[in-house]
Structure 1
Amino acid sequence: MNRNKGFTLVELMVTVVVVSIVVAVAIPSFSDQIKNNRSEALGEEFASALNFARMEAVKRVGRVSLCPSDNGAACTNSAWTDGWIIFVDYAAADNAAPLTTQGGISNILRRWNKAATDSEISVQTNNAAINYIRFTGLGALARLNNPPTPVVVEAKLNGCKGDKARRITVGVSGIVNVAKIACDANP
């Protein structure tokens, strides 16, 4: 007698149920992992931009600034999550408004596009929001206040979990420090 080997309908249905349970449990966890990785990357990318601006200021022995820009061509009064630019800053003083038009587009060193729609970036000094960060030719943070105070940046994606948000502190000397913070921490 020739017997066919294969799965019965009951065995196939049990397998489908087990696979669907595993997928139902794994997919939410996987999407959380993706969100957490994107949150970390946002903070690390901003820290990298700050280090790049500082390095360019030292290399050029002049002011270099970073500001929010939704058009990639000039500083705008937009949110930091709308994108930002780094440019050679021809301002007359450390606490003067940044100048991006002198030298035109040629003085823009690098552009960042809009971050994810569910991202948050806050940039503050003395607990007040600021719309630019300037480095001097010595690599130090420009003295926007008297006495000078560090700049604190917090970056995260809404809905991230654990310590996947980042607090970036730019000291008066210009040194950039990145720390992990809880996603639900208040800026």
Structure 2
Amino acid sequence: MLVAKLLRRRLSSIQCRLSYLKELAANKAADFSLCLRLQRLFIAQLKEQLRPRKETIMRIAKRSAGFTLIELMIVIAILAILIAIGVPSFTSLIKNNRLTSAANDLAGALHFARAEAVRRGSSVQVSSVSDNIGNGVRVWFDADGDGNLDSGADSSEELRLVRMAAPAVSVAADTGANVSLTFSARGRASGAVILSICDDRSGNYGKEVSLLATGVMRTKSGIACGGG
């Protein structure tokens, strides 16, 4: 549309000039070949103005060839800023989810032990893995009444095993590293215990699982951790 409009303007201008030259040639009896030469000259000038310039063609070709160095550097800088902002937040999110998962696993093991004791109508034990709560907890019941957990492929005394993702997650109990609890058939615990779950960060990032002697459990967030 723009080219057609420009063309119409130029043609109108040429027609006006040609009319003027024809009148001038008729009045002064000039050779009409002069008018024809001028007409050809105006048409050549019009074609030259409508023809795309070489610089424009080269500029379009450069744009279609790909990214320039400056554009590439700008994109890299933007990506670096986004990564610098997003990576710490993503790392913190992963650590928070890991703590939440560990707290849920411990609370789930205690809930399971209490429910099994009520269902079976007999005592169910919860003890630390390798005498250290940081390794996880084991839920079991004493089927043969010898007071010990029978190991081996044929043993059915172990009901559930929950391991912690050490050293990413550390678990500590207020009663010591070796936690041993017994749930009665009425769902009561042999003692109260508070489990604190932390990671390598310092601050109020930790989780807490508390068990009352009545068998009631609570979880809490925002527990202060020392890090390390």
* TM-score of the aligned structures, taking structure 2 as reference length: 0.63
Q: Is the 8 A contact 1:63 1:90 kept in 2?
A: no
- In structure 1, what is the equivalent of residue 8 of structure 2? none
Residue 25 of structure 1: how far off its partner (Å) = 2.3
The Cα offsets for residues 66-97 of structure 1, whole Å up to 9 and x where unpaired, read as 1122xxxxxx32x22223211013697xxxx9
Counterpart check, 1:109 vs 2:151: no
What SS does the aligned partner of 1:100 have? coil
- In structure 2, what is the equivalent of residue 118 of structure 1? 168
What SS does the aligned partner of 2:209 have? strand
1:83 counterpart (121, 136, 158): 136
Q: Is the 8 A contact 1:64 1:134 kept in 2?
A: yes
Residue 140 of structure 1: how far off its partner (Å) = 0.1
Counterpart check, 1:176 vs 2:225: no
What SS does the aligned partner of 1:89 have? coil
Output the CA distance in 2 between the equivalents of 1:113 and 1:184.
21
Unaligned runs of 5+ in 1: 70-75, 143-148
Counterpart check, 1:157 vs 2:194: no
Output the CA distance in 2 between the equivalents of 1:184 and 1:157.
8
The Cα offsets for residues 141-164 of structure 1, whole Å up to 9 and x where unpaired, read as 12xxxxxx52111112222754x4
Counterparts of 1:130-149 in structure 2, within 5 Å, are 130-142=178-190
Q: Is the 8 A contact 1:32 1:161 kept in 2?
A: no
Q: Is the 8 A contact 1:167 1:179 kept in 2?
A: yes
- In structure 2, what is the equivalent of residue 73 of structure 1? none
The Cα offsets for residues 123-173 of structure 1, whole Å up to 9 and x where unpaired, read as 234xx554212111110012xxxxxx52111112222754x4222111111
- In structure 1, what is the equivalent of residue 119 of structure 2? 59
User: What is the identity, as a one-letter code, of the residue corresponding to 1:99?
Assistant: N
Q: Which structure has the higher relative contact order (CA within 8 Å, separation 6+)? A: 1
- The number of residue pairs the alignment matches comes to 166
Q: Which has the larger radius of gyration?
A: 2
- In structure 2, what is the equivalent of residue 48 of structure 1? 108
Greater share of helix residues, 1 or 2?
2
* TM-score of the aligned structures, taking structure 1 as reference length: 0.76
Output the CA distance in 2 between the equivalents of 1:177 and 1:106.
30
User: What is the identity, as a one-letter code, of the residue corresponding to 2:216?
Assistant: I
Cα RMSD (Å):
2.7
- In structure 1, what is the equivalent of residue 38 of structure 2? none
What SS does the aligned partner of 2:174 have? strand
What SS does the aligned partner of 1:99 have? coil
Unaligned runs of 5+ in 2: 1-51
Q: 1:57 to 1:169 in 2, by over 3 A?
A: same
> Structure 1 runs of 4+ off > 4 angstroms?
none
Output the CA distance in 2 between the equivalents of 1:90 and 1:151.
25
